[in-house]
């Protein structure tokens, strides 16, 4: 189980997270929503140890990871995968090599075994036959699919999705959502997604949580979440979260 | 009023010192941690070869060009100076000693900084901005081991090899102008080199080139790795990497020369 307790973080002198308490249910898709600049991506990065909290704890199945370094942190990270906002594919490698990267680097896998695993994942995300292309030759949606294939190839227990549909047209966004939910149902991994796609996320998530003023203001199943009486949350979900809180800040 | 002003001045100096000491500490940890990761398996042989190709092989043309003209201009200047004393025969040793002791290591390292160093900073900086370095972390692959350590090793090996090429080409450049164009006797050109250049000159040149190789790859990797998350930040990081590497090469050259002489 993934659990955050009282996580605080200040970046550039500005408090971003101000005591986040969150329990992510295992094997479910939990979506975190919130206004731009609220620190959703920062929160996500705390879960995988890319950020260390100023105070508070991050627990992954009984292991407190926020003070781990080096080898010990890497051991925990082996259970994770993350799909970044811009997919974060390695530009110097082809799509095939990108997806094969964790297999070769972490499992020291070679030859035909790599090819079989990579081709299977590329086919699952709809990129069969595109392995030879470089990331720069792909459209935004295809890059996200390739990133998803790379995240899935190690069969992780937990996958973090940082705004997986940002910058995509509605049809492409829907197809990425369908892909994520389809894979989540098929493989049963724990998924945490940061998204602005309201109301679409209510149809695909098992749980929805809202980050407001550095804290989790509400978390519930989608139907219950939409019945909230909190006027601010009601307003946010009714306008689709398009009003920026801090116009100057970036990164969600 | 005066006390206030003095306090502000002290505060400013103190803040400046604190920031810079912290930065130097971070730089030291960066390079030590990178070498520590290098010692851990797996050995990144292919990565090191790729980086040697980029830092070393691809810099060969510009190094050869610079070396040839440096040797030629040294011979030209040296010839007319030595002729005043009737010592044209010493031209070979003047060119060779300047090349091997000073100009080879310094100019080759500066050319590597300009060609490969700036590209290293830009490449790593873009990887940072587009979250590729974070992606390595999330895949439990240490970026210092995968990305930085091979570049440091390539700098340590590549720059001395380029300096060796620089020295040889420079000496032949001097030969072209001194012997072929200005008519210095070829025998006395080579003979003066043989009698004047000692092992400690060559050894000093190698020592310099190894340390310059480390400076270039270290500074350029560091500036890229800690670039600010914007296009402007990347531009600043690249400029700082080139300027700092070049200045450090010249300063370190002075101290190393004073130790070696």
| pLDDT, tens only, A103-129 | 998 888 888 889 999 999 999 888 888
- Above 80 in pLDDT, residue A94? yes
| pLDDT, tens only, B34-88 | 999 888 888 888 889 999 999 999 999 999 999 999 999 999 999 999 888 888 8
- Could B137 and A77 be called an inter-chain contact, meaning their C-beta atoms sit closer than 8 Å? yes
The one-character DSSP state at B43 is P
- Could B134 and A106 be called an inter-chain contact, meaning their C-beta atoms sit closer than 8 Å? no
- Above 60 in pLDDT, residue B3? yes
Closest CA to B95 of B114, B66, B73, B110: B73
CATH 3.40.50.10190 fits A1-77+191-252, yes or no: no
pLDDT at site A240: 57
Cβ contacts below 8 Å, chain A against chain B, sum to 52
| pLDDT, tens only, B154-165 | 999 999 999 999
Cα separation of B250 and B218, whole Å?
A: 16
Q: How far is A227 from chain B (nearest CA, A)?
A: 36
Task: Identify the closest residue of chain B to A101 by CA–CA distance.
Answer: B139
Q: How far is B242 from chain A (nearest CA, A)?
A: 23
Closest CA to B114 of B43, B63, B183: B63
CB B136 within 8 A of CB A68: no
Work out the angle at residue B233's Cα, subtended by the Cα atoms of residues B230 and B236, and round it to the nearest 5 degrees.
Answer: 155
Q: How far is A201 from chain B (nearest CA, A)?
A: 25
pLDDT at site B88: 82
pLDDT at site A65: 92
pLDDT at site A233: 86
- Above 90 in pLDDT, residue B249? yes
pLDDT at site B18: 92
Cα separation of B247 and B259, whole Å?
A: 19
What's chain B's average pLDDT? 92
pLDDT at site B230: 84
- Above 60 in pLDDT, residue A242? no
| pLDDT, tens only, A152-177 | 999 899 999 999 988 888 888 888 89
Least CB-CB distance to A102: which of B130, B132, B139?
A: B139
Q: Where are the domains of chain A?
A: 1-77+191-252
| pLDDT, tens only, A39-71 | 999 999 999 999 999 999 999 988 999 888 888
- Above 90 in pLDDT, residue B217? yes
What's chain A's average pLDDT? 88
pLDDT at site A210: 93
Task: Please report, rounded to a whole number, the percentage of residues in chain A having pLDDT higher than 70.
Answer: 95
**Is the previous residue joined to A43 through a cis bond, with omega within 30 degrees of 0?**
no
| pLDDT, tens only, B23-37 | 899 999 999 999 998
- Above 60 in pLDDT, residue A244? no
**Residue with tokens 């105070």, as numbered in its chain:** A55
Closest CA to A209 of A227, A194, A190: A194
CB B181 within 8 A of CB B77: no
Q: pLDDT-derived band of residue A248, with 50, 70 and 90 as boundaries?
A: very low
- Above 70 in pLDDT, residue A213? yes
- Chain A contacts in chain B segment 157-176 (CB below 8 A): none
CB B98 within 8 A of CB B193: no
- Above 70 in pLDDT, residue A249? no
Closest CA to A190 of A52, A5, A79, A25: A25
**Residue with tokens 């989540």, as numbered in its chain:** A184
Q: pLDDT-derived band of residue A9, with 50, 70 and 90 as boundaries?
A: very high
Residues of B in contact with A154 (CB under 8 A): 139
């Amino acid at each position: 189980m993934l659990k955050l307790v009282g996580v605080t973080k200040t970046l550039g002198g500005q408090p971003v997270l101000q005591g986040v308490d969150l329990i992510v249910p295992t094997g479910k898709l939990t979506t975190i929503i919130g206004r731009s600049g609220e620190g959703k991506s920062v929160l996500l990065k705390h879960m995988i140890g890319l950020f260390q909290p100023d105070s508070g704890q991050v627990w992954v199945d009984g292991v407190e990871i926020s003070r781990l370094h080096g080898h010990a942190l890497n051991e925990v990270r082996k259970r994770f995968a993350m799909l970044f906002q811009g997919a974060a594919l390695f530009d110097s490698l082809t799509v095939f090599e990108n997806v094969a990267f964790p297999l070769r680097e972490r499992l020291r896998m070679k030859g035909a075994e790599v090819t079989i695993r990579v081709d299977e994942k590329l086919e699952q995300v709809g990129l069969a036959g595109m392995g030879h292309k470089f990331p720069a030759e792909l459209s935004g949606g295809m890059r996200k699919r390739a990133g998803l294939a790379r995240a899935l190839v190690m069969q992780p227990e937990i996958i973090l999705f940082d705004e997986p549909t940002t910058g995509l047209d509605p049809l492409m966004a829907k197809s990425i959502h369908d892909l994520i939910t389809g894979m989540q149902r098929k493989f049963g991994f724990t998924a945490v997604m940061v998204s602005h796609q309201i109301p679409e996320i209510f149809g695909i998530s098992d749980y929805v949580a809202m980050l407001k003023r550095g804290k989790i203001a509400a978390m519930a199943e989608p139907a219950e979440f939409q019945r909230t009486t909190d006027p601010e949350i009601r307003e946010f979900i009714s306008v689709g979260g398009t009003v920026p809180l801090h116009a100057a800040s970036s990164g969600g | 009023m005066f006390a206030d002003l003095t306090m502000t001045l002290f505060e400013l100096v103190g803040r400046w010192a604190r920031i810079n000491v912290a930065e130097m500490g971070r730089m030291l940890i960066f390079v030590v941690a990178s070498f520590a990761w290098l010692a851990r398996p797996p050995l990144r042989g292919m990565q090191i070869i790729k980086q040697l190709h980029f830092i070393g092989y691809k810099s060969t043309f510009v190094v050869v060009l610079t070396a040839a003209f440096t040797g030629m201009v040294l011979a030209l200047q040296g010839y007319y100076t030595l002729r005043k004393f009737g010592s044209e025969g010493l031209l070979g040793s003047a060119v060779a000693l300047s090349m091997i002791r000073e100009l080879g290591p310094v100019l080759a390292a500066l050319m590597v900084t300009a060609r490969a160093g700036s590209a290293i900073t830009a490449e790593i900086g873009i990887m940072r901005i587009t979250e590729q370095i974070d992606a390595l972390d999330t895949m439990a692959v240490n970026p210092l081991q995968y990305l930085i350590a091979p570049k440091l090793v390539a700098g340590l090996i590549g720059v001395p090899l380029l300096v060796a090429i620089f020295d040889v080409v420079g000496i032949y450049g001097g030969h072209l102008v001194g012997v072929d164009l200005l008519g210095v006797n070829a025998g006395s050109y080579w003979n003066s080199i043989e009698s004047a250049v000692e092992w400690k000159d060559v050894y000093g040149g190698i020592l310099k080139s190894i340390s310059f190789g480390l400076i270039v790859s270290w500074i350029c990797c560091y500036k890229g790795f800690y670039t600010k998350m914007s296009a402007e930040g990347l531009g600043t990081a690249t400029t700082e990497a080139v300027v700092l590497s070049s200045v450090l090469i010249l300063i370190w050259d002075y101290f190393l020369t004073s130790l070696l002489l």
